[in-house]
Structures are given as structure tokens and as C-alpha cells.
Amino acid sequence: MYQDDISLYNKVVSEYLKLEETDRAGAIMLKKKMAAIYDRLSEIKLELRKSETKKGETTPERERMAERMKLLKEMYIDCRAITNRQVSDYQMDR
């Protein structure tokens, strides 16, 4: 189920784990990838919600999707902090 999307997610997580705190360009690229993957996972989560049979029932797949989305959000915030820190350091050096 959604193997290509999960593969992209895993690839971004791997790239994030290799990201250096001083790699502003890498952080910017990862932010873009993460935003796109987050959007796709959100669509999948919506599809899963629509397919649930009982009102209020949560499937394991939907729960896992929510966990992945939460992790993506945390990584995105971290990448944003890296880019902001780099800009601040640059401005202080001027």
C-alpha cells in the first residue's frame, strides 16, 4: 500500500539523519521535499479515513500515517531552524 510514497518518506528521513547543522542549502531542499511528502501523506490519511467502516474507528495504517506526519513536521521545524540560524550567523558576520 502506497509503497512509492513510503519509499520517498524513508529516503527523506535518511537524508535528514545525514544533514549537517551548517548545511543551509541541504536544509532548504529537505524542507521542500518534506512539505511535498507531508501533503501526499495527508491525502493518504484522508483516503484511509474515508475507507474506515465505523464512525470513530481508527485503522493502524491511519495511526502510522499520523506518526509519520508528526515526524516530518518535527524534521521540517529543525530544518527551518538550521536555515534561520545560518541567516542570523551571516547577518552577524556583516
In tens digits, what is the pLDDT along the chain, a chain of 94 residues? 578 988 999 999 999 999 998 898 999 999 999 999 999 988 888 888 877 766 666 778 888 888 999 999 999 999 999 888 766 665 666 5
SS3 track for 48-78: HHHHCCCCCCCCHHHHHHHHHHHHHHHHHHH
**Domain hosting residue 63, numbered range:** 3-93
Q: How many domains does the chain have?
A: 1
- Supply the pLDDT for residue 51: 77
- Supply the pLDDT for residue 89: 64
